[in-house]
Amino acid sequence: MTAPLRIGIAGSGFAGKFHHKNLRGLAAVTAGVTSVRPESRAAFGAEFGVPVFDSVEAMLPHVDVLDICTPPSSHAAYIRAAARAGKHVIVEKPFHGFFGSPESHSKEEMLAAVTGELRDIRDTVGSSGVLLGYAENYIYAPSVQRERQILEATKAQILRMTAEESHSGSHSPFYGIWSEQGGGSLIGKGCHPLGGVLYLKRKEGLARRGSPIRPAAVSCRTHAITKLPAFEDRGYLRTTYKDTEDYAFLHVIFDDGTVADITTSELVLGGVYDFIEVFANNHRTRCRIQPVGVVDLYSPDKREFAGMDLMEKISSNEGWIPAYPEFGWSNGQFAEMRDFVDSMLAGRQPECDLALAIDITLAIYAGYASADRKGQEVEVPLL
Ligand SMILES: NC(=O)c1ccc[n+]([C@@H]2O[C@H](COP(=O)([O-])OP(=O)(O)OC[C@H]3O[C@@H](n4cnc5c(N)ncnc54)[C@H](O)[C@@H]3O)[C@@H](O)[C@H]2O)c1
């Protein structure tokens, strides 16, 4: 494959825009955009000078890579379409899910259905020979990459990890509807720290024993705290979740017996709260994803910084603000696009690949099955 790599973006919303912006300076060009909404794809094309296509099918012949930035329920169909057309794939989180109603399907049924679909996606992508980059930005965060270097250099053993992604609630109107998102906080937010911890144990296994350490079993609890009759709403948290959890705790047991604990919720004020803490046999690391403490910005009055994007999910640009230097730097979103472009041009697997995307998804749905049984241990299927 020759540079520049021609990227076709499906979905012209928030993620589609930052994927396009993060291609700057790379050996790639946005060669097309599409979206179900004609006005949205036209606006993206006009703003960024990108050719607009009516559908993914119409765009595929003109690109080398399909970059899927659409809602989760459309990911699987687009992955299959790209693979069958011989095009590489970039796909946003969450990789895949179960999009039926939780009222008419048990979580056990969801786990079985998702497992079958993941097997089919793995076979389709595998037989097509294309590469798939799963856009889990935690894996590319500078702090997580520093931890990977330490694991590889010192052959450290991770004994336990704690990790979290939480904030005061997504703004997307589709968030909180199971049939749109495939679940609530666990899949929508928890997929990030879960991806990070599964990646680090995978890397540890490759460094120490020559094979990845995988998640073997999980125990999980999920709760809808803002739906409790006892919840006192002061108006700072989003509360409009239809049929999903707004809090989840996932305990992961790896195949070597070590553990990780993931907390995720929509119940945290004061900005995003995103980290992985590693407790190893020879070191301890706090990987801050956001905020990172590179810039402390002070504003005496919120009018000074009105409308400025300084840090995700803070409700006021007044007082001391732990601003990010630039959106996408500390959380890995710049670095993930570089790796996808470089690996696809070189014909090698990206750092965050299909195997990891599958393990993350299986651990999430094993978690939902466990939560249905009030935390009983559930095995993570092995495809
Ligand atoms: N990694 C991250 O931090 C991060 C951040 C935000 C969103 N995301 C992920 O990116 C994806 C998109 O989220 P978003 O926030 O950009 O949503 P969005 O609503 O801002 O944009 C979605 C876009 O997809 C289009 N669309 C919807 N269904 C489609 C279909 N079937 N085919 C083609 N286009 C379709 C919409 O018209 C819209 O242009 C989701 O999977 C989300 O979880 C990831």
CATH number for the domain spanning 236: value is 3.30.360.10
Identify the CATH number of the domain in which residue 89 sits.
Answer: 3.40.50.720
Radius of gyration (Cα) for the chain, nearest Å? Answer: 20
Domain membership of residue 126 as a residue range: 5-135
pLDDT at res. 1: 84
Model pLDDT for residues 73-124, shown as the tens digit of each residue: 999 999 999 999 999 999 999 999 999 999 999 999 999 999 999 999 999 9
Q: Provide the pLDDT for residue 206.
A: 98
Residue 325 in this model has a pLDDT that exceeds 90: no
Residues 131 and 146 placed together within one structural domain of the fold: no
**Does residue 55 share a domain with residue 9?**
yes
Q: Are both 76 and 207 inside the same structural domain? A: no
Residue owning the nearest CA to atom 8 of ligand 1 = 15
Domain boundary among 114, 135, 156: 135
Strands (E) located in 36-115 = 65-68, 88-92
Whether residues 86 and 169 share a domain: the answer is no
In a shared domain, residues 123 and 184? no
Mutate to test the pocket of ligand 1, among 35, 53, 134, 290 (most ligand atoms within 8 A of CB): 35
Q: Examine the fold and report which residue of 95, 112, 135 is the final residue of a domain before the chain moves on.
A: 135
- What is the reported pTM? 0.97
Taking 90 as the threshold, does the pLDDT of residue 170 lie above it? no
| Predicted local distance difference test score (pLDDT) of residue 159 | 98
If you measure from the C-alpha of residue 37 to the centroid of ligand 1, how many angstroms do you get, rounded to a whole number? 12
Q: Report the domain count for the chain.
A: 2
Same domain (yes/no): 283, 340: yes
Shortest-distance atom of ligand 1 to CA 17: 16
- CB under 8 A, 24+ apart: contacts of 125-131: 125/79, 125/83, 125/89, 125/354, 128/83, 128/84, 128/86, 129/86, 130/82, 130/83, 130/86, 130/87, 130/88, 130/89, 131/88, 131/89, 131/343, 131/344, 131/347, 131/348, 131/349, 131/350, 131/353
